[in-house]
Amino acid sequence: MYYTIVDEDAAKEFHRWLERKLKDLSGGQRQRVSIGDNVLFGPNVQLYTATHPLDAESRRSGLEAGHPIDIGDDCWIGGGAIINPGVSIGPRSVIGPAVS
């Protein structure tokens, strides 16, 4: 992954584009979402880094956790796909769209 410094206007335009592409980007625990180069997102893709315990007693305590998401270079994430906490998608992967 390459890191690039961009001016403020370009960064704002990128965020507007990303908001249109990603229906929901949840990072409540400030976990990292790493997106490689040349990654294509279909419409309404959802990325979630926040999670919670599975057992009811722990959930009642309000305990939450977060796990990073890594998406490699040259991936295609199909429309409506949901990427859950802790998922790593290798380079050149295709994630199928959600089907109803």
Q: Catalytic residues, which ones?
A: 52
Q: How many alpha carbons fall within 13 Å on the CB side of residue 45?
A: 21
The strand pair at 50-51 and 65-66 is best described as: antiparallel
For 62, residues 6+ apart whose C-beta sits below 8 A from its C-beta are none
Contact 67, 49 (CB under 8 A): yes
Please tell me the distance from the alpha carbon of residue 43 to that of residue 82, in angstroms, as a whole number. 11
